[in-house]
Structure 1
Amino acid sequence: MHAAARPATAGPSDVALTGAPTGLAALAARADHVIGTAVEWVAAAIVLVEIAILAAGVTARYLFHTPLVWSDELASILFLWLSMLGAVVALRRGEHMRMTGLVSRVSPGARAFLEALALTASIVFLLLIFHHALDYAQEEGFIVTPALEISNAWRAAAIPTGIALMLAAALARFVRLHARGPAFAAILVAAGLVALFWWAGPMLKPLGKLNLVIFFVGVVATNVFAGVPIAFSFALATFGYLALTTSTPLLVMVGRLDEGMSHLILLAVPLFVFLGLLIEMTGMAAAMIRFLASLLGHVRGGLSYVLIGAMYLVSGISGSKIADMAAIAPVLFPEMKARGAKPGDLVALLSATGAQTETIPPSIVLITIGSVTGVSIAALFTGGMLPAVVLGLALCAVVWRRYRHEDLSHVVRVPAPEILKLALVALPAIALPFVIRAAVVEGVATATEVSTIGIAYSVVMGLVVYRRFDWRRIGPMLIETASLTGAIIFIVGCATAMAWGLTQSGFSQDLGRIMAALPGGAWGFLAVSIVAFVILGSVLEGIPAIVLFGPLLFPIARQVGVHEVHYAMVVILAMGIGLFAPPFGVGYYGACAISKVNPDEGLRHIGGYMLALILGLLVVAAVPWLSTGFLKF
């Protein structure tokens, strides 16, 4: 995610909330605290239960050769509940992904208005969709699940329940807004826009495909740049398009939300997020970094090379860029600053390595691509290793140029026995990425289940080898996992509904014809895709962009002769560059927040790294073997 960084993608700022609420605000705060705490712990418990179910499934099938026929079904039911409750937690904590490039640059008064408008827009969608979600859950009550033989309403009820709880959380936040004038203005603007679109409905229907521009470009772009969370921006545009320009029952939109959030392979998202938090807590990441620093610390720019290498290794464990950067920056940055490195250059390199490592398994984006396009997860895991090496070498070239005159006269070289000792300590941590990949490729576990192997491995290493396991942190880590899962999976659901709307309009066929007719054949298609996904990555982030456009473009890639794994690597790296490139890339601001560096300091240094990433991406695009060469092994 990879999710982008939380500080850059948060919901309406807590600064806008009253510090000591009174009256109605106090009542809302108390109710929100009670309900919110209950939701957090239920969601955390579901994460634990999901880990146990998948671990039991792997054990029963691989060790005892007696598969649990009900495990996947129960895991799927609980996953929808986890996604919806996690979305509630994310809304309460202001962690739904959003673009704040414009919001953070306007005057305080305008910012208060935009923050209130973002919250109001979310409330509007939740109010509009709630009764359709209830109808959908009732309709699902007639379906009986095949393994557990229970009503599917037990699963579908997660959607209206989650929507109702999100609505309560959003209203509680709105009541607690300190700036009453901007809040009232936001209500008037939102009500006026809803009334205007409703009134214009009869005039919109005859416009045909021009409505795609109005809703999926105009409405989405306006909402995204105004700071409305991306998921709600997609959802509002899709709801408006279906309600005002088609005769499609809005029950269908809820069904598409359900479909998008119900891919069992996406269950890997929370488990890998939790695994990332676990390796940081157990000290496994720190052990790897200390070993790499002992090897290269005496070389000019050595700690920068360590940063690049550590991000490569840690990405292979956690699957979450937030976890990667949070595990590495606090360990390396103090010593790098002591050696004279500029904070702006450090955050620029950290951001660039975030983009570089997007294809390293078990990347959440790889898992998402596999779920929405049908490409083999094992093939994607195999194909993602070398492209990241190419971009890493390009970054190393920039580091060599910038640090070739670094003064290391005060640096003491670590003796060989100490390096060997650190290597032995780091060996269990370094082995984990290879354990994960081998388990998938050898068929021990699926991409969804393999995270449980990593979790069990990390728990054992933390308790037995590293003797560092803080049980008090497990609860907060599980809640953090649920929140990030809700933010990610709710986007996937809303983007799936939007992609369905685009497909039903005939847009996918039109796009296919245009892209297939591009001059230059496969090379022209790749070039246009690179530019498009760099832009999409900076505005929409990787996961919503790939969910929205992956099902449309991957068939075209096959049609023009581009291998699907090669195409996946190209578009993921392009999205990563957009995600971590300022001024719009929210991943860049996440790196700044984790590094505690002002974003303006990094802007002077990041150009060279981004140029290196682009050159590396062009090499990957031009040499398909880098992505597909090891698929036959």
Structure 2
Amino acid sequence: MAHVEMTPAVTPTLAGEVAQSPRRRSLLGSIELALKWLVEIPAAILVVAEIVILFAGVVSRYVLHAPLVWSDELASMLFLWLAMLGSAVAFRRSEHMRMTALVASAGPRLWAYLDVVATCAALAFLLLIVHPSYEYAYEESFITTPALQISNTWRAAALPVGICLMVLFALLRLARVGDLKTLLTAVATVVVLIALFWFAQPLFKPLGNINLIIFFVGVVGFCVFAGVPIAFAFGLAIFGYLALTTRTPLMVLVGRMDEGMSHLILLSVPLFVFLGLLIEMTGMARAMVAFLASLLGHVRGGLHYVLVGAMYLVSGISGAKAADMAAVAPVLFPEMKQRGAKPGDLVALLAATGAQTETIPPSLVLITIGSVTGVSISALFTGGLLPGVVLALTLSGLVWWRYRGEDLSHVRRATSGEIARAFVVSIPALALPFVIRYAVVEGIATATEVSTIGIVYALVIGLLIYRQFDWRRLLPMLIETACLSGAILLIIGTATGMAWGLTQSGFSRALAASMTGLPGGAATFIAVSILAFVILGSVLEGIPAIVLFGPLMFPIARLVGVHEVHYAMIIILAMGIGLFAPPFGVGYYAACAIGKVDPAEGIRPIWGYLLALLVGLIIVAIFPWISIGFL
């Protein structure tokens, strides 16, 4: 998934640093550099360790017929450490997902103030859960793991350690703010707001489920639109709800976060993220795009069709939208601009193809749905292929209309020999999606383990065939993997806490009753779901929206007679449209950042592509066979 902030050229914190003394900057820089390596190197090592452990498990079970009984347990223990250290890396880099559309449109002074407020709000949540996380880790010391026979504290200690590291990075960031007035105002704002909620505690008790609106809509909405990272907005909301309106021990919140982040199926998130970076680095993506360009480059709008097809193929490998777009756009955009394509139209189509490919395995959203709803990952992987084709066809129809008069008199058609050579070169890359799919279907590896097969395959192909393997990029790629994974997993953790709070309040039962009672049955339910998830996708992004509402909506879908795989495809595509739709969709700004185009240029052309996507979504919704015909 794409998670990019569109920020001014000089951020408030950097602007503020100018006012600091060189000695202070040097001391803070030295402390942060030491902490940086203390966190990033272990995080990178953990990514490698997970790949080795899971691949060893596949080999020992399928090749040697001697399963490693401890491999899943060790992988699970290390995974929580990877999630928390990755979250700390993301915090240091300011790469936790946040919605900056409104904040960035404010004036420089207000932007600087809100940026510091966001850091203070995140720090407040971290300080509030430091002690409950320590209590939780201590309680886990009474549990002994079944396979390794060691205390579960070794795993649970990742939570307080990761939280304390993020506290340190937050304090260092605040210490670098040069404008003391802005800093004190921001700190005072957060302290006053928390104090007001604390003193209003007696007023919340009698309100019952109205508190859900106050905390889960009001607090979350205020924090998200103010630029607070989504994970911490969720965290503040659920912490406030539990602390001020219930008698639930706050250690329970940490336990729910642990539960949400520790699903072994989610281990495929960092592994597929790394795989996406790997195929870009080894030249596999470039080989696929070159083959498609040789086939269609001479057709009117041909490279636009190539962009649609390349995103479909690359999505089948990486599972991460940022990696998909970064792999395809730099290869195609220069030639497309030479042919007269407008930059705004290019990023609009790039964003639209990002939404189109959300259902194509191994999409991280598919993996998340499987982990939180219990739907078969294999069934989701099978069901996601055709919906992506339907949306590709509707996008291609619009491309045909827009470029039916394109002048191609200066474009040379590739010869059959050139096409054959490009095809031969691309065969190893084109085979990777089929290798991944075959391994899952034939039971060689689980949906979690299959990513390691893809990684080993990409390493071998990159080293022996394409020979574009840059060893110097390996460490930054591993750190980037941990960073993006940590940002995603912390959201899943805090969103799981919110989902638990919603369930405990009885909201899920009330929602089920109201949704099943809608006139029109399944058709109305699907229509309402599409509208709701387009909105949720634009504000929360796919993964947190799924974690929050998936466990609530999927049982209702079954009650009204909608197949769960069909329903999964509908809501994923709806969220994809929201995610890549301006003005709030983060994915749209990611496409603009990758294409190096001003977001304003793509606003007009993207509406046509979004309409084409909506037509494709309606077709998928009307005909369930598209999603479940091959199950």
What TM-score results when the alignment is normalised by the length of structure 1?
0.98
| 1:334-353 correspondence to structure 2 within 5 Å | 334-353=334-353
Question: Would you say 1:585 and 2:585 are equivalent positions?
Answer: yes
Change (3 A) 1:127 1:473: same
Q: Matches of residues 77-116 of structure 1 in structure 2 within 5 Å?
A: 77-116=77-116
The question of whether the paired residues in 2 share the 8 Å contact of 1:25 and 1:175 is answered with no
In structure 2, what is the equivalent of residue 126 of structure 1? 126
Residue in 2 aligned with 1:29? 29
Cross-structure match for 1:404: 404
1:17 and 1:51 map into 2 onto residues whose CA distance is 41
| Structure 1 position 28, deviation (Å) | 2.7
Aligned-partner residue type, residue 557 of structure 2: A
Instruction: Deviation per CA, 1:146-166: give whole Å up to 9, x if none.
Output: 000000000000000000000
**Closer/same/farther in 2, CA of residues 470 and 295 from structure 1, 3 Å limit:** same
Please tell me whether the aligned partners of residues 80 and 262 of structure 1 are also in contact (alpha carbons under 8 angstroms). yes
Task: Kindly report which structure 2 residues correspond to 1:48-447, keeping only aligned pairs within 5 A, or say none.
Answer: 48-447=48-447
The answer for the alignment partner of 2:553 in structure 1 is: 553
Give, as a single letter, the amino acid of the residue that structure 1 aligns with 2:201: G
Counterpart code for 2:470: D
Q: Does 1:533 align with 2:533?
A: yes
What SS does the aligned partner of 1:411 have?
coil
**Counterparts of 1:296 and 1:19, CA distance in 2:** 52
Provide Cα deviations, 1:46-94, integer angstroms capped at 9, x if missing partner: 0000000000000000001111000000000000000000000000001
Counterpart Cα distance in 1 of 2:280 and 2:7? 22
Tell me the distance in 2 between the aligned counterparts of 1:40 and 1:552: 37
Distance 1:305 1:439, change over 3 A: same
**Cα 1:20–1:326, aligned 2, differ >3 Å: closer, same or farther?**
farther
Partner residue, 1:509: 509
Task: Give the aligned residue type for 1:356.
Answer: Q
Cα distance between partner residues in 2 of 1:567 and 1:511: 17
| CA drift at 1:464 | 1.0
Q: Note the alpha carbon deviations across 1:344-400, whole angstroms, 9 max, x for none.
A: 000000000000000000000000000000000000000000001111101001100
* 1-structure distance, mates of 2:234, 2:10: 16
Whether the aligned pair in 1 keeps the contact of 2:270 and 2:485 (CA below 8 Å) is yes
Q: Give the deviation of 1:21 after TM superposition.
A: 4.7
Aligned residue type for 2:217: V
Decide whether the 8 Å contact of 2:386 with 2:627 is kept in 1: yes
**1:594 paired to 2:599:** no
In structure 1, the residue corresponding to 2:200 is in which secondary structure? helix
What displacement does 1:180 show? 2.6
Contact 2:5 2:99 in 1 (8 A): no
Give yes or no for contact 2:6–2:104 (8 Å, CA) kept in 1: no
> TM-score, structure 2 length as denominator?
0.98
Contact in 2 for aligned 1:84/1:486 (Cα 8 Å):
yes
Paired residue secondary structure (2:161) = helix
- Asked whether the 8 Å contact 2:522–2:562 carries over to 1, the reply is yes
Measure, in 1, the Cα distance between the counterparts of 2:308 and 2:537: 22
User: Is the contact made by 2:28 and 2:172 (CA closer than 8 Å) also made in structure 1?
Assistant: yes
Distance, in Å, in 2 between the alignment partners of 1:586 and 1:123 is 24
Q: Contact 1:4/1:541 (CA < 8 Å) preserved in 2?
A: no
Structure 1 226/298 Cα, relative in aligned 2: closer, same or farther at 3 Å?
same
Contact 2:276/2:318, CA 8 A, preserved across alignment: yes
Correspondence 1:601-616 to 2 at 5 A: 601-616=601-616
1:5 aligns with 2:8: no
What residue number does 2:17 align with? 18
Show the 5 A alignment for 1:556-567: 556-567=556-567
- Show structure 2 runs of 5+ residues with no match: none
Secondary structure in 1 matching 2:568: helix
Cα distance in structure 2, aligned partners of 1:123 and 1:89: 15
Change (3 A) 1:17 1:326: farther
Q: Deviation of residue 438 (structure 1)?
A: 1.1
User: Do the aligned partners of 2:581 and 2:588 also contact (CA within 8 Å) in 1?
Assistant: yes
The answer to whether the 8 A contact 1:47-1:478 is kept is yes
Aligned CA-pair RMSD: 1.4
State the identity as a percent: 68
2:494 corresponds to = 494
Q: Any idea what SS the aligned residue of 1:604 has?
A: helix
Cα deviation digits, residues 224-252 of structure 1 (max 9, x gap) = 00000000000000000000000000000
Distance in 1 of aligned mates of 2:20 and 2:397: 54
Q: Kindly state the Cα deviation for residue 29 of structure 1 after the two structures are TM-superposed.
A: 2.6
The answer as to whether partners of 1:8 and 1:587 remain within 8 angstroms in 2 is: no
Q: Describe the superposition over 1:455-510 as per-residue Cα deviations: whole angstroms up to 9, x where unpaired.
A: 01001111111111111110000000000000000000000001001110111001
The answer to whether the Cα contact below 8 Å between 1:11 and 1:97 also exists between their aligned partners in 2 is no
* In 1: Cα distance, 2:20 partner to 2:376 partner: 52
Q: For residue 130 of structure 1, what is the amino acid of its counterpart?
A: V
Contact 2:8 2:104 (8 Å CA) reproduced: no
Is this contact kept in 1: 2:288–2:430, CA < 8 A? yes
The 8 Å contact of residues 9 and 99 in structure 1, kept in 2 or not, is answered as: no
Residue range with higher mean Cα deviation, 67-76 or 21-30 = 21-30
Q: Distance in 2 between matches of 1:526 and 1:519?
A: 12
Question: Residues 11 and 186 (structure 1 numbering): CA distance in 2 closer, same or farther, change over 3 Å?
Answer: farther
5+ residue gaps, structure 1, are: none
Amino acid at match of 1:131: H
- Partner Cα separation in structure 1 for residue 516 and residue 10 of structure 2: 39
Take 1:15 and 1:175, find their aligned partners in 2: how far apart are those partners?
12
| CA apart distance, 1:16 | 4.8
Alpha carbons 1:8, 1:590 under 8 Å: kept: no
Q: Assess if the C-alpha contact under 8 Å between 2:13 and 2:176 holds in 1.
A: no
Residues 569-621 of structure 1 deviation map (CA, whole Å, 9 limit, x = unaligned):
00000000000000000000000000000000000211100000011100000
2: CA distance, partners of 1:180 / 1:584: 31
Instruction: Report if the CA contact (8 A) 1:319-1:364 is conserved.
Output: yes
Relative distance call for 1:580 and 1:16 in structure 2 (3 A) is farther
Tell me how far apart the structure 1 counterparts of residues 25 and 540 of structure 2 sit (CA, whole Å). 33
When residues 474 and 549 of structure 1 are mapped into structure 2, their CA distance, relative to the original with a 3 A threshold, is same
The CA deviation at 1:32 is 1.4
Shift of 1:177: 1.6
Conserved? CA contact 2:292–2:306, under 8 Å: yes
Q: Once the 2 structures are TM-superposed, how far is the Cα of residue 512 of structure 1 from its aligned partner? A: 0.6
Write the letter of the residue equivalent to 1:436: I
> Letter of the aligned partner of 1:327 in structure 2?
A
Which amino acid counterpart does residue 37 of structure 1 have in structure 2? Answer: W
Asked if the contact 2:284–2:466 (Cα under 8 Å) also holds between the matched residues in 1, the reply is: yes
**CA drift at 1:24:** 4.5
